[in-house]
Structure 1
């Protein structure tokens, strides 16, 4: 037997690199699998948060659209314009994953989301309402429930069951 001729000395020289390459390939394949799993979970979570925020904006706009439809006034047209622009921006938001469809692949989602937030803030400013960008899972603090001991500094609460006057002198009906 000629075992000295069967022994490949070149493979011993590159032994460390061979082990490194095999380990890298195994780690890369394993990371790809776990990356897909974690990426899908994170995407689902962030997507839900985005839709929750968009749903809040849409509900806010629809509610104020119904309120403004019953009111008569000069500022009503400006408010309705802001409401319609907000609803129009929300309707442009893709309802499916843009990477899966070629028709809406050119939508810049972060830019559109910034525009929607800006339009919401403008609408709140026009209405005289403080914008609320708090997430639904953010629990209210103790300050939200503490009553003010001085009755003269309390804000009036609108009654839904009867017509009341707001600080601006406009009456609202629900």
Structure 2
């Protein structure tokens, strides 16, 4: 009599066993895919940030060269803001994605860039896309 009861237990418990096995397989596959997708997203976002900061740096270096050694008060203020922007870009933590103030520093760089553009009377348009990225004027 004990044997038929064990057979019914196996049938009744099969659903629970398969549910547990399916959950475990799904969890492992989902974790693996999540890591892959996370890396891809990180690379894409990092490339966009790097491209943006690279454009700011190139813009600042070009204007530093153009301003040369002019000594007017207006050029002096431009040069100070320009040097401040270059200093912020140089201190930006490119190699540390876990840096907790990354977005705050990036916002400060953007603000300083806008301030510099205002002082230079330039209206830039930074674009990123499939055809490339860059500053347009």
SS in 2 for 1:7: helix
Which one has a bigger Cα radius of gyration?
1
- Aligned counterpart, 1:109: 102
Q: How does 1:6-155 map to 2 (within 5 A)?
A: 7=6, 9-99=8-98, 105=99, 107-135=100-128, 137=130
Structure 1 portions without partners, runs of 5+: 100-104, 145-174
* Stretch moving more, 113-122 or 129-138: 129-138
Structure 2 portions without partners, runs of 5+: none
State the TM-score, normalized to the length of structure 1: 0.66
- Aligned counterpart, 1:4: 3
Higher RCO, Cα 8 Å, sep 6+: 2
Task: List per-residue Cα deviations over 1:108-154 (Å, max 9, x = no partner).
Answer: 11111111111111100011000222226457xxxx9xxxxxxxxxx
State the TM-score, normalized to the length of structure 2: 0.82
* Stretch moving more, 10-19 or 45-54: 10-19
CA distance in 2, matches of 1:111, 1:94: 12
- Aligned counterpart, 1:155: none
SS in 2 for 1:27: helix
Higher share in strand: 2
Higher share in helix: 2
